[in-house]
Amino acid sequence: ELKVEQNPLFLSMQEGKNYTIYCNYSTTSDRLYWYRQDPGKSLESLFVLLSNGAVKQEGRLMASLDTKARLSTLHITAAVHDLSATYFCAVDLPSGYALNFGKGTSLLVTP
């Protein structure tokens, strides 16, 4: 059974601090996806990581992928309140057609 595990599931952090969200998965997929969901909204694609060692950055967020360890990280640098949201990682389902999502990390950035 394909498993996608995120930790932590809940994260409260102060503005200006750094933190990392981890995503472990059980498949041999070479691709990993990160999404953001604001309350009451749909999912917004953040990053698509396509190969081992891939690193992508957008603003205060940086994502990386280690396919050998089956691990992806989402690093937050100098957090600001606007980053408060739920972050999901996802990998390809064995069928290869859709994605399987982790449980999500609910991030709250406080002053």
Partner 1 sequence: SAVISQKPSRDICQRGTSLTIQCQVDSQVTMMFWYRQQPGQSLTLIATANQGSEATYESGFVIDKFPISRPNLTFSTLTVSNMSPEDSSIYLCSVWRAGELFFGEGSRLTVL
| Residue 80 lies near partner 1 (rule: CB under 8 A) | no
| Residue 109 lies near partner 1 (rule: CB under 8 A) | no
Question: Is the omega angle on the peptide bond into residue 39 within 30 degrees of 0, that is, cis?
Answer: no
| Residue 97 lies near partner 1 (rule: CB under 8 A) | yes
The tokens of 106 are what? 């609910």
Residue type, 95: S
The tokens of 79 are what? 């957090």
The contact mask relative to partner 1 for 28-67 (x = CB under 8 A, - = no) is -----x------xxxx-x--x-x-----------------
Cβ at position 94, least distance to partner 1 in Å: 11
Residue with tokens 């069928």: 95
- Containing 86, the helix (H) or strand (E) segment is strand 85-92
Binding site for partner 1 (CB under 8 A): 33, 40-43, 45, 48, 50, 88, 90, 93, 95, 97-104
